[in-house]
Amino acid sequence: MESDQRGTMTASTQRAETKTALEVDALVKRFGDLTAVDNVSLKVRAGECLGLLGPNGAGKSTLIRAMVGRVIQDSGQVMVMGKAAGSTEARMALGWVPQELSIYPRISCRENLGSFGRYYGLKGQALKEAVAWCLNWAALEEKQNDVAKTLSGGMKRRLNMAAGMMHRPKVVLFDEPTVGVDPQSRNRIFEMIEALRDAGTAIVYTTHYMEEAERLCDRIAIIDHGRIIAEGTKEELVEKTFGTCSQVLARFAGDRDAIEKWAKRHGGRVTAETAEFTIEQAGEIAPLLEAATKAGLELLDLSLRRPNLESVFLHLTGRELRD
């Protein structure tokens, strides 16, 4: 009976009991008149992956840099494993994988890892072991003596990630780690991140790819204009945003402007050649199609779906994630 109770413990209850690894509390950062981060509060627990989604210029990078301790905030605070971001303890507990390839291009993979390991204070056997672990984690053992700039795009990305893992941090920030990576390498990167998460590392993951967020992230925070406008699991976000509504996707032949005007008149919008409507009941579909026929639009195909993360993002920000 008791074991049954433990077995039915919800995932959210488990998370609540896990220690907070990263905490952002009422953080504000202004650049002149621009408020890049506006009263943001977040928590990431050990073994949890938080997806940070937002359009370009939403404040993601500033927020990430504040977590690294590279930003002097106007107010609020960022704590990494209970220590103020930027302190030596926080630096040692945090790994950062920047979006740019922040490695030394003219030296080998092994030398790159060795350099970053030393920057984190590793030496001797500990350094050797860390290099070996990172090479293995990033599947770069065979390329360990290759000069970084000669690696393929995916390998460079993996080396970029491995360089942030040398000190085996408890919190890792991944800033769009799959930019410009082919699908095969991307899959490899997902596996690397999943391995970290399963080992209890707290992860913050920013991306422009919704499918990455859906696959990797336990929770998602959507940031726009410097504010967190929604936060929760994928299901929670969909539920909060759309309730029990569904989405009707309809493709029409004909003039795009006419389709857009018609869709707007009926509370929908057109994205990627498809008119999109949110409905509460299936009975709303027939009147919609009737109106389309009356407007002279020729229906090509029609589908009904449960709203997804992309729908949530679009609904909340008015922009697609890749804009």
Partner 1 sequence: MIWNVARTALIALKRDRGAMVLSFVLPLAFFSIFAVIFGKANNSTPTVKLIVVDQDQSHASQELVKGLTSESSLVVMTRPVAEKNTPPPADYTAATAEAAVKAGDAPVALIIPQGFGQHPIAFGPDAGGSTLELLNDQSDTIAPQIVVGLLQKAAMTSMPSSMADEGLKYADSYVGGFTPAQKTKVDGELEALRKLEADGKAGSGSSGSGSDSAGAGIVQVKERAVVGEDKKSPMISFYAAAIGVMFLMFTASGSAGALLDEAESGTLERVLSTRVTMTKLLAGKLVFNTLLAFVQLVAMFLWGWAVFKLDFFSHLAGFAVMGICTAFAVAAFGMLLASACQTRAQLGALSTLVILIMSSVGGSMFPRFLMPESMQKAGLLTINAWAIDGFTKVFWRDLPVTALWPQVSVLLGIGVVLFVVARRIARRWQYA
For partner 1, the binding residues (CB under 8 A) are: 29, 31, 62, 65, 68-72, 88, 91-92, 94, 96, 98-105, 116, 119-121, 163-164, 167
Residue 201 Cβ, how far from partner 1 at the closest point, in Å? 17
What span, in angstroms and rounded, lies between the C-alpha atoms of 124 and 175? 30
Taking CA 144 as the corner, what is the angle to CA 142 and CA 147, rounded to the nearest 5 degrees? 120
Residue 199 Cβ, how far from partner 1 at the closest point, in Å? 21
- Please say which residue, 15 or 65, places its beta carbon nearer to partner 1: 65
- Please say which residue, 51 or 69, places its beta carbon nearer to partner 1: 69
Residue 62 Cβ, how far from partner 1 at the closest point, in Å? 7
Instruction: Please give the structure tokens belonging to residue 300.
Output: 């090509």
Residue 72 Cβ, how far from partner 1 at the closest point, in Å? 5
Contacts of 141 (CB under 8 A, 6+ apart): 135
- Please say which residue, 65 or 143, places its beta carbon nearer to partner 1: 65
Burial code of 164-181, b = ≥16 C-beta within 10 A, e = fewer? Answer: bbbbbbbbbbbbbbbeeb
What span, in angstroms and rounded, lies between the C-alpha atoms of 80 and 70? 13
Distances (CA, A) of 152 to 135, 147, 258, 296: 15, 11, 46, 52
| Amino acid found at 35 | T
Residue 5 Cβ, how far from partner 1 at the closest point, in Å? 43
Residue 18 Cβ, how far from partner 1 at the closest point, in Å? 25
Which one, of 103, 201, 112, 200, lies nearest residue 160 by Cα? 103
- Please say which residue, 29 or 158, places its beta carbon nearer to partner 1: 29
- Please say which residue, 92 or 249, places its beta carbon nearer to partner 1: 92
- What does residue 3 show for φ and ψ, rounded to 5 degrees? -70, -35
- Please say which residue, 223 or 250, places its beta carbon nearer to partner 1: 223
